[in-house]
Amino acid sequence: MSEDARFFAFLKDRIGLDVASVGEAIIERAVRQRCNASHAQDSDAYWQLLNGSADEQQALIEAVIVPETWFFRYPESFATLGRLALARLAELSGVRPLRILSLPCSTGEEPYSIAMALFDAGIAPAQFKVDAMDISPLSIQRARRGVYGKNSFRGDQFGFRERYFQPVEDGYLLDERVRERVDFQSGNLLDPHMPLAQSAYDFVFCRNLLIYFDVPTQQLGFEALKRMTRDEGVLFIGPAEGSLLGRMGMSSIGIAQSFAFRRRDDTPAELPAAPFIWPNAEPSKAPIKPIVAAPARSPVRPAARPFASPTPVAASPLANAQGSDADALLQSMASLANEGKTADAKAACERYLKVYGPVAAVFYWLGLLSEVAGDAALAQGFYRKALYLQPQHPESLAQLAALLASQGDLAGARRLQERAARGVNKEGRSR
C-alpha cells in the first residue's frame, strides 16, 4: 500500500470518507498539516504516531472536516419544517413532543435554526426537542458555547438575529431559550452502537453527508437514517442527494427547494397553510404557499466536448489573495481540456485544490474530465461535490442531469433540470 493510500484507507474505515468525493489533494494537505504540527520526521513516522494515538486520529479527522455552514441555509426547508411540525403536532394530540435530529450538526447553526424555525411557527418549547450529533468534539464544543461570528450570518436580512441573538465582544450570543432546546453529542452515523441509532425521529436533517461516501457506504448510511426516521417521518437532505434517495425507496414530498423526502409508500396529505416567520424577513402573518415546480423537460444529453468555461464562482479567501494566479489556473483548465490534454487539465485541477482549496468550478472540470475518460461514477461524485459548494452551479446541474438521464434515472434528471430552471428564473428576477 502506498504512503498516501494508507491514510485514505484509515479515513475510509473511521468515517466512511471516499477519497474520490473530495479529491486526494485535500487529504494529502491535511496529512501534511498534521505531520508538521506533530513534528513527525516523515510520513512513516506520522503513520506510526497516528496508529498509536487516539488524540492524533481525531486531530486528522478534524483537519479533513472543514465545517461550511450558516444559519438558515436552504431557508425553504425550514419554512417547510414549520408547517410539517404543526401538522404533526395536531396528529399527536399532546401525547408526546416532536423529536428532531440534526447530523452532522457541525458547529450548531443547523440545529439552532431548527429550534428558531419552530419557535417562529408558534410551537412552544415543551412541544419539541432537537438532538444534534457530529463526529467532531471541537465542533460540538463551539456549538454548546452559542457564540457566532459574521460568517454564520449570510444574506442581507437578519430578522432572526434581532429576535434571538444579542451582541457580545466576539460576535453574537444565542438566547438561552433556543440553546436549551438542543442536546449535542459527538458520534458517527456509521457506528451501530451509537445511542441515536435505536431512536426514531419525526424529522431528520442529514445534509451533504452521503455524497462523501462510496456506494456501499452510502447504503449503510441510508439504512441508519431510515432506522432513525419514523415510518411517517421526513428526511431533509442536501441539494445534490435527491437522486441517491430516489434510488433507495424515498420520494420527494413535492415542495420545491425543501429537499425533503418520505418513504415511497407514504402518500402525504396536502399540508395546511400556517403562519411562519421567514428567517431573513420581518415577522409576517401571511400564510406560506407551496412553491410550484417548473414543468419537467425531456432530458437531453449535451456533448462533453468542447469544454465551455463554467459560470464564475467566488474563490476561497486564499484564492482571492492570490488574485490573477488563481484565475489564470482556472482558465488554463479549459484551454488544456479543449486541446485534448486531459492529463494536464486534471493536473491543473489538482494543483488548484492543493494551493487554493475547493471551489465548484474545479470539481465541475474534474467531472467533465472523468466523463471523457469513461468513468461516469467518478464524474457523478465530482458534480455532487460542486453542487455542495455551490447548489445552483448551472453547468454542474446540467451535466449531472444529463448523466443521470443516460443511466435511466429520469426522475433524478428532471429534478436537477427544474432546479436549474428555478435558478435561471431567480437570477432573471434579481436582474
Same domain, 98 and 239: yes
Same domain, 129 and 214: yes
pLDDT at 20: 73
Q: Please state whether the predicted TM-score (pTM) of the whole model is above 0.75.
A: no
Half-sphere exposure (CA, 13 Å, Cβ side) for 155? 18
Extract the C-alpha cell encoding 27.
487529504
Distances (CA, A) of 165 to 71, 137, 291: 12, 24, 30
Contact 205, 99 (CB under 8 A): no
Secondary structure (DSSP) of 234-250: EEE--GGGHHHHHTTTE
Residue of higher predicted confidence among 80 and 196: 80
pLDDT digits (tens, 9 = 90+) for 29-47: 889 999 999 999 888 999 9
Number of domains present in the structure of the chain: 3
Q: Is 307 helix (H, G, I), strand (E, B) or coil?
A: coil
User: Could you tell me the residue range of the domain that residue 193 belongs to?
Assistant: 75-263
Same domain, 54 and 79: no
Same domain, 51 and 91: no
Extract the C-alpha cell encoding 134.
457530529
Distances (CA, A) of 390 to 16, 43, 179, 300, 323: 23, 34, 29, 23, 20
End-to-end CA distance of the chain: 54
* H or E segment and range at residue 204: strand 201-205
Same domain, 79 and 212: yes
- Which of the four pLDDT bands, split at 50, 70 and 90, describes residue 425? low
Does position 389 have pLDDT exceeding 50, yes or no? yes
Residue 106 forms part of a structural domain: yes
Same domain, 248 and 341: no
pLDDT digits (tens, 9 = 90+) for 83-110: 999 999 999 999 999 999 999 999 999 9
pLDDT at 174: 98
Q: Which of 171-175, 280-284, 306-310, 361-365 has the highest mean pLDDT?
A: 171-175
Residue 310 forms part of a structural domain: no
pLDDT digits (tens, 9 = 90+) for 220-261: 888 889 889 999 999 999 877 776 777 777 888 888 778 899
Residue of higher predicted confidence among 333 and 425: 333
Q: How far apart are CA 214 and CA 190, in angstroms?
A: 13
Contact 414, 296 (CB under 8 A): yes
Residue 423 forms part of a structural domain: yes
pLDDT at 48: 92
Choose one of 218, 244, 263: the last residue of a domain: 263
Does position 292 have pLDDT exceeding 60, yes or no? no
pLDDT at 319: 39
pLDDT at 196: 66
Extract the C-alpha cell encoding 204.
431528520
Residue of higher predicted confidence among 277 and 142: 142
Does position 194 have pLDDT exceeding 60, yes or no? yes
Distances (CA, A) of 366 to 260, 331, 383: 29, 14, 8
Residue of higher predicted confidence among 145 and 417: 145
Which residue shows C-alpha cell 457566532? 148
Largest distance between two CA atoms of the chain:
66
Same domain, 195 and 79: yes
Q: How far apart are CA 159 and CA 429, in angstroms?
A: 23
Distances (CA, A) of 411 to 239, 246, 260, 401: 14, 8, 15, 10
Residue 309 forms part of a structural domain: no
Half-sphere exposure (CA, 13 Å, Cβ side) for 335? 7
- CATH (domain of 102): 3.40.50.150
pLDDT at 338: 62
Residue 276 forms part of a structural domain: no
Q: How far apart are CA 8 and CA 25, in angstroms?
A: 11
Same domain, 54 and 146: no
Single out the residue of 267, 188, 197 nearest to residue 14, CA to CA. Answer: 188
**Sheet strands (E) in 63-179:** 98-102, 128-134, 147-148, 165-168, 171-174
Residue 303 forms part of a structural domain: no
pLDDT digits (tens, 9 = 90+) for 56-88: 998 898 888 766 789 998 889 999 999 999 999
Same domain, 137 and 239: yes
Averaged confidence pLDDT in the chain: 79
- CATH (domain of 353): 1.25.40.10
Q: Is 6 exposed, middle or buried (0-12, 13-18, 19+ CB in 10 A)?
A: middle
Which amino acid type is present at position 158?
F
Contact 87, 271 (CB under 8 A): yes
Single out the residue of 191, 14, 208 nearest to residue 106, CA to CA. Answer: 208
Residue 81 forms part of a structural domain: yes
Residue 25 forms part of a structural domain: yes
Which residue shows C-alpha cell 481525531? 58
Same domain, 101 and 51: no
Same domain, 119 and 189: yes
- Which of the four pLDDT bands, split at 50, 70 and 90, describes residue 287? very low
Same domain, 50 and 189: no
pLDDT digits (tens, 9 = 90+) for 365-382: 898 888 777 788 888 889
